[in-house]
Amino acid sequence: IIFTTGIADYMQEGFEVEALHYLLKPIDRKKVWECLEKCLSRKEDESRLILLPTEEGLIKTDVDQILYGEAVGHYCELVCLTETFSLKIGIKETAQRLEEYGGFMF
């Protein structure tokens, strides 16, 4: 989210929703391009992150860190380079969620 407004009073709300940037009017074209470039680079960084449900709540992990998934009863244990997650979903649903990233065999 990039906010553009003429009122600085709303800046706090921008931080509350984790806005990428807050541009005050009149808007400088150079600043707009800088914000858009920052937004695109952040999107590229986050594009390999996935949210998955565990007993403790949602976890965000980089799909490039995933080594393999293993069925444990009705659930899936996801083994990554640095840690292992016990997911609250089965191996089939885990495979479906990872399908868009490619490179996984289940």
Q: Give the integer Cα–Cα distance in Å for 78 and 66.
A: 7
Q: Which two tokens stand for residue 69?
A: 């998934």
In this predicted structure, the answer to whether residue 14 has a pLDDT above a threshold of 80 is no
Q: What is the mean pLDDT of residues 38-53?
A: 78
| pLDDT band at residue 21 using 50, 70 and 90 as cut-offs | confident
Residue 97's pLDDT band (boundaries 50, 70, 90)?
A: very high
Q: Please determine, for residue 43, whether its predicted confidence score (pLDDT) is greater than 70.
A: no
Task: Compute the average pLDDT of residues 16-38.
Answer: 83
Burial degree of 40 (CB within 10 A; 0-12, 13-18, 19+): exposed
Q: Higher model confidence: residue 77 or residue 99?
A: 77
pLDDT at residue 65 greater than cutoff 70: yes
Mean pLDDT of 43-67: 86
Give the Cα separation of 58 and 55 in Å (integer). 8
For the chain, domain boundaries:
2-46, 49-101
Rounded to whole angstroms, the Cα distance separating 14 from 32 reads: 16
Check residue 15 and give its pLDDT.
Answer: 66
